[in-house]
Amino acid sequence: SAVISQKPSRDICQRGTSLTIQCQVDSQVTMMFWYRQQPGQSLTLIATANQGSEATYESGFVIDKFPISRPNLTFSTLTVSNMSPEDSSIYLCSAGQGSEAFFGQGTRLTVV
Amino acid sequence: SQQGEEDPQALSIQEGENATMNCSYKTSINNLQWYRQNSGRGLVHLILIRSNEREKHSGRLRVTLDTSKKSSSLLITASRAADTASYFCATAAGTASKLTFGTGTRLQVTL
């Protein structure tokens, strides 16, 4: 199984600022994804991070708000831009290895 | 939007009892995966069952899949306090590791 390291593990941010979350996988993977988990809810897919090209966003998520980078097969970043309290969530990175998907420990973001 | 619905939403049992969680989904799938989440942190992959499989075992876990009913169940036998967590089913349709999650079941195992 892939081991995924995500940082920061948590942060408290002021509204209007931006936070970049990093995701490092211990092996090369084809697929990387970013999910959001709002308080008390399940996970919702934000986007697929594509290596060498623009990310593919799901309905309701846009690049201006959630820019994503994926410079190589082991690393990706998600930025939460111009934050508001509604962005307070856990953000999780996922890597696909074959059919299985593995997750990082998540970043717990609180916007005040 | 969530593809899957899970029931029950919450389940409280005593240590040693079995826990069964159910998941229903709406569209055709390639596989279905179950995850555990402790205290709102990262997800731990428990088991994957492919669309052409009906049952799978892993230790104290047993997963069934009924594609005609678009449903799956997760059975945890001889539960332990350490099994206390939220459990999620997740389905993959096209891209095998791109997942749509169910609503989750919160399991509480008491001594």
A86 found inside a domain:
yes
Report the distance separating Cα B76 and Cα B79, nearest Å.
6
**Collapsing DSSP states into helix, strand and coil, what is residue B81?**
helix
Position B54, amino acid:
R
A35 found inside a domain:
yes
Q: What is the mean pLDDT of residues B38-51?
A: 90
Using pLDDT thresholds of 50, 70 and 90, give the confidence band for residue B3: low
Domain that holds residue A34: 26-98
pLDDT in tens, B45-104: 999 999 999 999 999 999 999 999 999 999 999 999 999 999 999 999 877 788 999 999
Q: What is the mean pLDDT of residues B15-37?
A: 95
A11 found inside a domain:
no
A112 found inside a domain:
no
Q: Is the pLDDT of residue B2 over 60?
A: no
Contact assignment for B42 to A103 by CB distance below 8 Å: yes
Give the number of beta-carbon pairs within 8 Å between A and B. Answer: 73
A20: closest CA among A72, A60, A91, A77? A77
Q: Is the pLDDT of residue A99 over 90?
A: no
* Third-level CATH fold of B5-110: Immunoglobulin-like (2.60.40)
pLDDT of B93 reads: 85
Domain total in chain A? 1
Q: State which residue of chain A sits closest to B47, comparing Cα positions.
A: A100
CATH code of the domain in which A92 resides: 2.60.40.10
A8 found inside a domain:
no
Using pLDDT thresholds of 50, 70 and 90, give the confidence band for residue A106: very high
Report the distance separating Cα B12 and Cα B8, nearest Å.
10
Residue B76 pairs in a beta bridge with B19, B61
Residues in B 79-108 with any Cβ partner in A closer than 8 A:
88, 90, 92, 95-104
**Collapsing DSSP states into helix, strand and coil, what is residue A104?**
coil
pLDDT in tens, A20-50: 999 999 999 988 999 999 999 999 999 999 9
Q: Token match 């049952």: residue? A: B55
A17 found inside a domain:
no
Report the distance separating Cα B66 and Cα B52, nearest Å.
10
A23: closest CA among A40, A6, A48? A6
Residue ranges of the domains in chain B? 5-110
Smallest CA–CA distance, residue B77 to chain A, in Å, is 24
Q: What is the mean pLDDT of residues A70-91?
A: 97
A66: closest CA among B92, A74, A58? A58
Q: What is the mean pLDDT of residues A69-74?
A: 95
